[in-house]
A and B are shown apart, each in its own frame.
Chain A
Amino acid sequence: MEKILEAKNISKQYPGVVALDDVSFNVYKGKVNVLVGENGAGKSTLMKILSGVERQTSGEIYLNGEKLEIFSTNDAENNSIGIIHQELNLFPNLTVHENIFMGHEILDSYKIIDTSKQIKITNELLAKLNQDINAKTSVESLRIGQQQIIEIAKALAKKTKILIMDEPSSALSKKEVSVMFDVIAELKKQEVTIIYISHKLEEIMQIGDVITILRDSKFICEELINKIDIPWITENMVGMKSFEAVNTKKVETGPKIIELKSISLKKKESEEYILENINFNSSSGEILSIYGLMGSGRTELLEIIMGLNKDFKGEIYLQNEILKPSSISKRIKDGIVLVPEDRQGQGLVQSLSILSNTLLSKISRRIKDFYLNTNLEKKIVTKAIDYLGIKVSNYNNVITSLSGGNQQKVVIAKSLETEPRLLMLDEPTRGIDIGAKQEIFYIMKKLAEKGLSIIFVSSEIKEVLAVADRVIVLAKGKINKELMGGEITEDNLVKYSQG
Chain B
Amino acid sequence: MKGMTIKAALFKLRAFIALIFIFSFFAFTADAFLSSTNLIILTKHVAINAILAIGMTFVILTSGIDLSVGSIVGLCGMIAGMLIDKGLVIQFLNIVIYFEIWVIVIISIIVGFLFGCVNGFIITRFSVAPFIATLGMLYVARGFALLINDGATFPNLIGKEELNNTGFPNIGSGTFLSLPYTIWVMLLLALLAVFLTTKTKFGRHIYAIGGNTKAAHLSGVNVNAVTLLTYGISGLCAGVVGVIVTSQLISSHPATGTTWELNAIAAVVLGGTSLMGGRGSVGGTIIGAFVIGVLSNGMILEGVSSFWQRVIMGTIIVLAVMIDQLQTRFISKD
Residues of A within 8 A of B (CB): 14-16, 306, 308, 327-329, 331-333, 338, 340, 345-352, 356, 359-361, 363-364, 369-372, 414, 418
Point out the residues of chain B lying under 8 angstroms from A371, CB to CB.
Answer: 199-201
Contact of B220 among A14, A350, A418 (CB under 8 A): A418
Query: Interface majority SS on B: helix, strand, loop or mixed?
Result: helix
Residue-wise, chain B 194-217 has the 8 Å CB interface mask toward A (1 for contact) of: 000001111010011011101111
Q: How far is the CB of B147 from chain A (nearest CB, A)?
A: 39
Cross-chain contact A360 with B222 (CB below 8 angstroms): no
Cross-chain contact A329 with B207 (CB below 8 angstroms): no
Cross-chain contact A370 with B201 (CB below 8 angstroms): yes
Known: A15-B334, A418-B220. A351 touches B215 (CB 8 A): no
Does B333 count as interface, using CB distance less than 8 angstroms? yes
Known: A15-B333, A370-B202, A372-B201. A349 touches B218 (CB 8 A): no
Known: A14-B333, A16-B1, A360-B204. A346 touches B220 (CB 8 A): no
Point out the residues of chain A lying under 8 angstroms from B215, CB to CB.
Answer: 340, 345-349, 360
Cross-chain contact A349 with B211 (CB below 8 angstroms): yes
Known: A347-B215, A361-B220. A352 touches B207 (CB 8 A): yes
Cross-chain contact A349 with B279 (CB below 8 angstroms): no
Give bound CA distance, A418 to B219, whole Å. Answer: 9
Give bound CA distance, A14 to B217, whole Å. Answer: 35
Known: A15-B4, A346-B215, A371-B200. A356 touches B221 (CB 8 A): no
Give bound CA distance, A360 to B334, whole Å. Answer: 26
Does B278 count as interface, using CB distance less than 8 angstroms? yes
Point out the residues of chain B lying under 8 angstroms from A15, CB to CB.
Answer: 1, 4, 333-334
Known: A15-B333, A369-B201. A351 touches B218 (CB 8 A): no
Point out the residues of chain B lying under 8 angstroms from A360, CB to CB.
Answer: 204, 208, 215-216, 219, 221
Q: How far is the CB of A409 from chain B (nearest CB, A)?
A: 16
Contact of B210 among A14, A332, A351, A418 (CB under 8 A): A351
Give bound CA distance, A231 to B236, whole Å. Answer: 65
Cross-chain contact A351 with B211 (CB below 8 angstroms): yes
Give bound CA distance, A364 to B216, whole Å. Answer: 16
Point out the residues of chain A lying under 8 angstroms from B279, CB to CB.
Answer: 351
Point out the residues of chain A lying under 8 angstroms from B208, CB to CB.
Answer: 349, 352, 356, 360
Give bound CA distance, A497 to B333, whole Å. Answer: 44
Cross-chain contact A372 with B218 (CB below 8 angstroms): no
Cross-chain contact B200 with A349 (CB below 8 angstroms): no
Contact of A349 among B4, B278, B334 (CB under 8 A): B278
Interface centre among A346, A360, A414, A418 (most CB of B within 10 A): A360
Residue-wise, chain B 74-92 has the 8 Å CB interface mask toward A (1 for contact) of: 0000000000000000000
Point out the residues of chain A lying under 8 angstroms from B218, CB to CB.
Answer: 306, 308, 328, 338, 340, 346-347
Q: How far is the CB of B70 from chain A (nearest CB, A)?
A: 29
Cross-chain contact B211 with A364 (CB below 8 angstroms): no
Name 5 A/B residue pairs within 8 A (Cβ), A-sorted: A15-B1, A329-B222, A349-B278, A360-B216, A371-B199
Point out the residues of chain A lying under 8 angstroms from B201, CB to CB.
Answer: 364, 369-372
What residue in chain A is nearest B208 (Cβ atoms)? Answer: A349
Give bound CA distance, A347 to B218, whole Å. Answer: 8
Interface centre among A306, A333, A340 (most CB of B within 10 A): A340
Once A and B bind, how many residue pairs between them come within 8 Å at the CB atom? Answer: 82
Point out the residues of chain A lying under 8 angstroms from B199, CB to CB.
Answer: 371-372
Give bound CA distance, A420 to B105, whole Å. Answer: 47
Contact of B207 among A306, A346, A349, A359 (CB under 8 A): A349
Give bound CA distance, A15 to B330, whole Å. Answer: 11
Q: How far is the CB of B140 from chain A (nearest CB, A)?
A: 30
Cross-chain contact B278 with A351 (CB below 8 angstroms): yes
What residue in chain B is nearest A418 (Cβ atoms)? Answer: B220
Point out the residues of chain B lying under 8 angstroms from A332, CB to CB.
Answer: 219-220
Give bound CA distance, A352 to B205, whole Å. Answer: 10
Point out the residues of chain A lying under 8 angstroms from B221, CB to CB.
Answer: 329, 360
What residue in chain B is nearest A400 (Cβ atoms)? Answer: B332
Cross-chain contact B212 with A328 (CB below 8 angstroms): no
Cross-chain contact B219 with A414 (CB below 8 angstroms): yes
Cross-chain contact B214 with A345 (CB below 8 angstroms): yes
Point out the residues of chain A lying under 8 angstroms from B220, CB to CB.
Answer: 328-329, 331-333, 361, 363, 418
Point out the residues of chain B lying under 8 angstroms from A328, CB to CB.
Answer: 217-220
A-B complex: 4 closest residue pairs judged by Cβ atoms: A349-B211, A351-B211, A351-B278, A329-B220
Given contacts A328-B220, A360-B216, 12 further A-B contacts (CB under 8 A): A15-B1, A328-B218, A338-B218, A346-B214, A349-B216, A350-B212, A351-B278, A352-B208, A360-B221, A364-B201, A369-B201, A370-B202
Known: A15-B334, A340-B218, A351-B210. A356 touches B202 (CB 8 A): no
Point out the residues of chain A lying under 8 angstroms from B204, CB to CB.
Answer: 352, 356, 359-360, 372
Q: How far is the CB of B246 from chain A (nearest CB, A)?
A: 33
Give bound CA distance, A329 to B1, whole Å. Answer: 42
Residue-wise, chain B 292-334 has the 8 Å CB interface mask toward A (1 for contact) of: 0000000000000000000000000000000000000000011
Point out the residues of chain B lying under 8 angstroms from A370, CB to CB.
Answer: 200-202
Q: How far is the CB of A418 from chain B (nearest CB, A)?
A: 7
Point out the residues of chain B lying under 8 angstroms from A331, CB to CB.
Answer: 220
Point out the residues of chain B lying under 8 angstroms from A372, CB to CB.
Answer: 199-201, 204
Point out the residues of chain B lying under 8 angstroms from A14, CB to CB.
Answer: 333
Q: How far is the CB of A369 from chain B (nearest CB, A)?
A: 7
Point out the residues of chain B lying under 8 angstroms from A347, CB to CB.
Answer: 215, 218
Known: A328-B217, A345-B215, A360-B216. A351 touches B333 (CB 8 A): no
Interface centre among B207, B210, B212 (most CB of A within 10 A): B212
Give bound CA distance, A359 to B199, whole Å. Answer: 13
Give bound CA distance, A329 to B221, whole Å. Answer: 7
Residue-wise, chain B 216-231 has the 8 Å CB interface mask toward A (1 for contact) of: 1111111000000000
Q: How far is the CB of B294 from chain A (nearest CB, A)?
A: 30
Give bound CA distance, A371 to B198, whole Å. Answer: 9
Point out the residues of chain B lying under 8 angstroms from A308, CB to CB.
Answer: 218
What residue in chain B is nearest A360 (Cβ atoms)? Answer: B219
What residue in chain A is nearest B218 (Cβ atoms)? Answer: A346
What residue in chain A is nearest B278 (Cβ atoms)? Answer: A351
Point out the residues of chain A lying under 8 angstroms from B202, CB to CB.
Answer: 370
Contact of A350 among B1, B4, B211 (CB under 8 A): B211
Give bound CA distance, A328 to B214, whole Å. Answer: 12
What residue in chain A is nearest B221 (Cβ atoms)? Answer: A360
Cross-chain contact A351 with B207 (CB below 8 angstroms): yes
Point out the residues of chain B lying under 8 angstroms from A16, CB to CB.
Answer: 1
Point out the residues of chain B lying under 8 angstroms from A363, CB to CB.
Answer: 220
Q: How far is the CB of A354 from chain B (nearest CB, A)?
A: 13
Q: How far is the CB of A305 from chain B (nearest CB, A)?
A: 13
Give bound CA distance, A14 to B334, whole Å. Answer: 7
Q: How far is the CB of A115 from chain B (nearest CB, A)?
A: 32
Q: How far is the CB of A223 from chain B (nearest CB, A)?
A: 35
What residue in chain A is nearest B332 (Cβ atoms)? Answer: A400
Interface centre among B208, B220, B279 (most CB of A within 10 A): B220
